[in-house]
Chains A and B, each alone.
Chain A
Amino acid sequence: MRKDLILHLSALSVLLLLELLGIFSDYHQGNFARILVLAAYGVGYNILFGYTGLLSLGHALFFSAGLYASGLSVYHLDYDIGQSIILAIGISAFISSLIGFLALRTIGVSFMIVTLMFSQIAYLSILYFGSITRGDEGFVIQQSSRIFFSLDLSNPTIRYYSALLIFSLCIFINLWIAKSSFGRVLVAIRENSDRALMLGYNVQSYKLLSIIISGTISGFAGACYGILFGYVGASFATVSYSIFPLLWVLIGGAGTVLGPLVGAIFMFYLIDYASDITDAYMIIVGVSLLIVTLFARRGLLGELRYRFFKWIP
């Protein structure tokens, strides 16, 4: 078997064993279920930022598109879980292609600002259509509708396994992309887009595809998050939820498959401990952003790859 496949399978097995051997307390089990789904969101973000080199500040738009598509369809239209997730995937694919088409007319700094503003439109729209979305307050998805093939997704153990499954699915998609010729072209665009263009690749359509894949995975993660944890609210569409995946990816290492997971675990527990001490725990996010940009551009796994293991995908 290939080295990289062994690495990722063993990482997943550790996560599985932690649960099977009952090492988790209830508290950490719940945390890790959240982290895994959020890391899946980070994986989606990483495909655009880490591999293609496009820095979006508006991924909360895709995350909340999935979150609301599934949440609203279950809440108002009585869809079952399978249908709502398929709907969420469809809608986030559609929205990401639309946003990609518009935002890719700009590059660099303007791309960042434009994605930020699109996501702000989404946030304000959620508040504006408060009669349907219940605005800031959000809504709870009843336990009775969170049943998938007679599995009760609100049960903590089943929830953990589902989260692990969702995360595994996303990293295998990521691994497959990273190893495919498509992924190589994305990296080529990240490293030198003019050169990729000169070599005859249609850079714009590769970028667009990358946004669609990234946005769809993010939307899928959002849909799963809403259903597994039973709450849908406008706070998931705020700028902070666009910054979080950026931070996880930067800390874990941009362009590494497991980077988002490492970053998400690190940040989640850092914020968790900080919020015991102060209400202003977001200050931790600010300081981490500065530390990463000033001293550790490559992130944890990125540094490991740079120094020792060149083969980490």
Chain B
Amino acid sequence: MDLGPYLLFASLEGLVHAAVLSLIALGLSLVFGVMRIVNVAHGEFFMLGAILTWWVSNFVMGNPALGFLIALLIVPLVVGIIAMFSDLLILRHLKYDPEVTIIATIGILYIIQQFALMTFGPDARPVEQPFNIRLDLYWFGFSAYKFFVIFSAIILLFCVWLVMAKTKFGLILRATQLDSEIAQAFGIPISTVYSLVFGVGAAIAAVGAVLIVPIQQAHYLMGGEPLLLAFIVVIIGGLGSLKGTVVAAMLIGISDGIISVFFSPNLAKILATLLVVVVLLIRPNGLFRTIRI
């Protein structure tokens, strides 16, 4: 292949990862924006989504597309409920103190991860693609499923924006984000909103997991890397900003894809992290304060 098509191939691969990354980062950003806490266990909710998808697809016999559809409906719901319970049982009692919450979510991270190790085992397991069509792009064939991933991520991002901007629930979220005490004074049940947001944030990451698992395989340690990238995305994009998150996810995801194809994936991550350092040097502290949707 010539350089041109090769670059196109790399950017398409990058776009797939960027799509999933923007979903993961969006969940993280939503939780930080509304609740002002950093959820370090976010990557594990993503991993949980992947593992549950594997289970569902094994449970449902017959057409892989059917298993995939059922997973797409059930898995985010289950992950969201698990996240809500961890909020009810743990985070609520810490009064959402930012630093203590980080330590506690690290605890949740280990518990989910090790629980997955005990039940799912240490092996990486593949999930069959719901449909296996290759599109011929003249220079190379590209899986139609990957286009489907990009497309679904765009739809979901659009839905989140719609909910945030146009519905009453979105209004409540924005009010809570702006000033939770005033919102409470106006009769918004803050603690319910927090639990819901924590659940929705995890569920969005789980959708990303359901989408990526037919390409990537499920593994109990798969949560660490997307968490690091999602941190990078939200720091560059500004936590809580939907637009910033998507733009930064595109930037990081595509450049990560291109660098990974030409060099080593590790180098891509090192470079992305160094990018954060540069951003920090230019805009210290301001990075976490761009809370607006």
Contact = CB atoms under 8 A, between A and B. Distances in A.
Given A117-B228, A279-B117, A289 B106 contact: yes
B269 interface: yes
Nearest to A53: B99
B38 interface: yes
A128 to B, nearest CB: 5
A125 B267 CA distance: 8
B100 A293 contact: yes
B130 interface: no
Contact of A109 (B99, B106, B115): B99
A285 B110 contact: yes
Contacts of A282: 110, 113-114
Interface string A71-99: 00000000000000000000000000000
B107 A287 contact: yes
Given A110-B285, A128-B266, A293 B104 contact: yes
Nearest to A135: B266
A278 B118 contact: yes
Interface stretch (B46-54, B90-98, B173-181, B253-261): B90-98
A147 interface: no
Nearest to B100: A293
Interface in B5-44: 38
A287 B111 contact: yes
Interface in A212-247: 239, 243, 246
B90 A294 contact: yes
Contact of A120 (B104, B108, B273): B273
Interface stretch (A11-19, A100-108, A138-146, A178-186): A100-108
Contact of B99 (A106, A112, A114, A239): A112
Contacts of B232: 117
Contacts of B99: 55, 108-109, 112
B98 A109 contact: yes
A173 interface: no
A243 B276 CA distance: 22
A117 B224 contact: no
Contacts of B281: 102, 105
Contacts of A120: 228, 269, 273
Interface string B266-293: 1101100110110011001101100000
A283 B220 CA distance: 13
A290 interface: yes
A116 B231 contact: yes
A304 interface: no
Interface residues of B, number: 42
B28 to A, nearest CB: 11
Chain A contact patch, size range: 35 or more
Given A110-B287, A243-B106, A283 B115 contact: yes
**SS class, residues of chain A in contact with chain B:** helix
B102 interface: yes
Nearest to A121: B273
Contacts of B203: none
Given A102-B277, A283-B114, A108 B266 contact: no
Contact of A121 (B94, B98, B270, B280): B270
Contacts of A102: 277, 280-281
B42 to A, nearest CB: 12
A109 B231 contact: no
B235 interface: yes
A114 B280 contact: yes
| A117, A125, A250, A279 interface centre (most CB from chain B within 10 Å) | A117
A131 B277 CA distance: 26
B202 interface: no
Contacts of A114: 276, 280
Contacts of A287: 107, 111
B114 A128 contact: no
Contacts of A278: 118
B107 A105 contact: no
Contacts of A198: none
Nearest to A127: B266
Nearest to A280: B114
B133 interface: no
B172 to A, nearest CB: 24
A117 B276 contact: yes
A233 to B, nearest CB: 16
B273 A280 contact: no
Interface of B: 38, 90, 93-94, 98-100, 102-104, 106-111, 113-115, 117-118, 122, 224, 228, 231-232, 235, 264, 266-267, 269-270, 273-274, 276-277, 280-281, 284-285, 287-288
Given A55-B103, A106-B287, A290-B104, 7 more contacts: A55-B99, A105-B281, A107-B285, A124-B269, A250-B103, A279-B118, A279-B122
18 contacts: A106-B284, A109-B99, A112-B38, A114-B280, A118-B277, A120-B269, A124-B266, A125-B266, A243-B106, A250-B103, A282-B110, A285-B110, A286-B114, A287-B111, A288-B107, A289-B106, A289-B107, A297-B100
